Amino acid sequence: MNRFLRKNKYNLFLLVAFIVVLIIIGFFIKAKIDDINMAKYDNNIIIIKGNGDEIKSFSIRELKKRAGSSKEVYINNGLEKVKVEGVSLEKLVGNLDYNLRERPVISIEDTDGNSNRFPMSVALEVDRVYLVYRIDGEPVIEYNPSYGSLVVIDTTTKSANSWITNVKTLNIQ
């Protein structure tokens, strides 16, 4: 065996190097395919308002560049764990040039006009409430078409039933 290794060490080295290069190329190809799948939805927007007046709007592409991060959350009453990618509301709303001290509530509106309210203290809690654009590596709308392209998730809940789906507007009131 020792003689075999001595004779073929150059070939073995080339084989190992080739396998490592293939693995690295595989990771790049997978990342590129994920980006291509997500690119279809990059122009969907979220509008941030202050007392009904538009402050800022972001496309999904801008959200990813801004402060996108990933976190694992539970669904199905804590039985299943999924990885979500999105932006923490604390980072998104906290970085705006807007006086949040006098605004106790953030109202989240969906495409149907339904509105859910979060206390600002909950929304600005570090890494608690996320505006999510990807679940388990897939765009939200491909993961579950009824969710729309953006979802607001409170990471302390254990069920997807409490998620706010089809999000279009965040209104700081």
- The rounded distance, in Å, linking the Cα atoms of 70 and 119 is 23
Q: Which helix (H) or strand (E) holds 32?
A: helix 2-39
The reply to whether 100 and 19 lie within a common domain is no
The reply to whether 59 and 34 lie within a common domain is no
Q: For position 130, which CATH number holds? A: 3.90.420.10
β-pair partners for 47: 57, 169
For residue 55, CA distances in Å to 19, 35, 58, 69, 145 come to 51, 28, 10, 23, 29
Name 45's Cβ contacts closer than 8 Å, sequence gap at least 6. Answer: 57, 58, 59, 60, 168
The reply to whether 50 and 101 lie within a common domain is yes
- The rounded distance, in Å, linking the Cα atoms of 46 and 87 is 12
- Name the percent of the chain lying above pLDDT 70: 98
- Name the percent of the chain lying above pLDDT 90: 9
Closest CA to 88 of 54, 55, 123, 57: 123
The reply to whether 48 and 32 lie within a common domain is no
The reply to whether 50 and 67 lie within a common domain is yes
pLDDT for 15 beyond 80: yes
Which domain does 139 fall in, by range?
43-172
Torsion of CA 78, 86, 68, 22, to 10 degrees: 70
pLDDT at 17: 94
pLDDT at 161: 81
Number of structural domains found in the chain: 2
To the question of pTM greater than 0.85 for the whole model, the response is no
The reply to whether 90 and 120 lie within a common domain is yes
Higher-pLDDT residue of 119 and 102 is 119
The reply to whether 29 and 87 lie within a common domain is no
The reply to whether 167 and 96 lie within a common domain is yes
The reply to whether 30 and 49 lie within a common domain is no
Which tokens go with 55?
Answer: 């402050």
